[in-house]
Amino acid sequence: MAQELDLTPLRVFSNKQPTPSTTSHAALVQWRKDRRDYEETARSRAKDGAHDIIVPVNTTFDQGLLRLWCRLRWHIAIDDVTDDRIVAEVDKIIASVKNNNVPDIDYEMRSKLRINLKETDISERVIQYFKTCHGIIDDNGWRVFFDDSTDKKQLCRILIASLEPQALREDVERTVRFQVRKAKKDEVALHDLMLEKAEEFP
């Protein structure tokens, strides 16, 4: 018996398709974030049965900009460029520090890093808090600042500083200072401590 063909129509998923027109650090940071959101939305739709095709990166980039990248930097024809090559170049630019200056990471974290107190599942609340922190770091190309053991200490400090409510933050600070000193520079230990303490502040 002949195998039946799947004739379900495929649709190009183009909702809020990000299209960068400049290689400035800020613009590419925003583009990468938007692109990730775009792809995640497409994957979520697929789980619900949608048959979408994600638009390739090279067709969404400003073609004039992409043509110059190919000719002046990579010395290849624009038809030969791959999505992986484009994303790698974007990651390289984002990873570089803008104008060789260290950004005000503390200010950005204070502005953007929040724990969702409306989430009733304490475990989910804490893990999403850590996820948000790492998302901010990746979106801004700051991973280079948090690689070694010294920088892990800074990461833990940031995670504690933005923790809410205040009573929980102060409790965690005291415990880290006098009891669980390992949590000053060990993200896993800090996560476990925050989870334990958060259950006391539902």
Q: What single string gives the DSSP state of each residue in 1-43?
A: -PPPP--PPPEEE-TT--------HHHHHHHHHHHHHHHHHHH
Query: What is the predicted pLDDT for the residue at 187?
Result: 95
> Is the separation of the CB atoms in 128 and 163 below 8 Å?
no
Question: In degrees rounded to 5, what are phi and psi of residue 21?
Answer: -125, 5
Distance CA 158, CA 160 (A): 5
Task: State the DSSP code for 120.
Answer: -
Across 54-58, 77-81, 146-150, 195-199, least confident range: 146-150
Bridge partners, 53 (sequence order): 12
Distance CA 36, CA 66 (A): 20
Distance CA 24, CA 96 (A): 11
Distance CA 200, CA 202 (A): 6
Please enumerate in sequence order all residues whose Cβ is within 8 A of that of 172, keeping only pairs 6 or more positions apart, or say none: 160, 163, 193, 194, 197
- Segment 83-100 mean pLDDT: 78
Query: What is the predicted pLDDT for the residue at 10?
Result: 42
Q: Which residue has the tokens 């009733």?
A: 120
For residue 94, pLDDT beyond 80: no
For residue 6, pLDDT beyond 50: no
Query: What is the predicted pLDDT for the residue at 59?
Result: 85
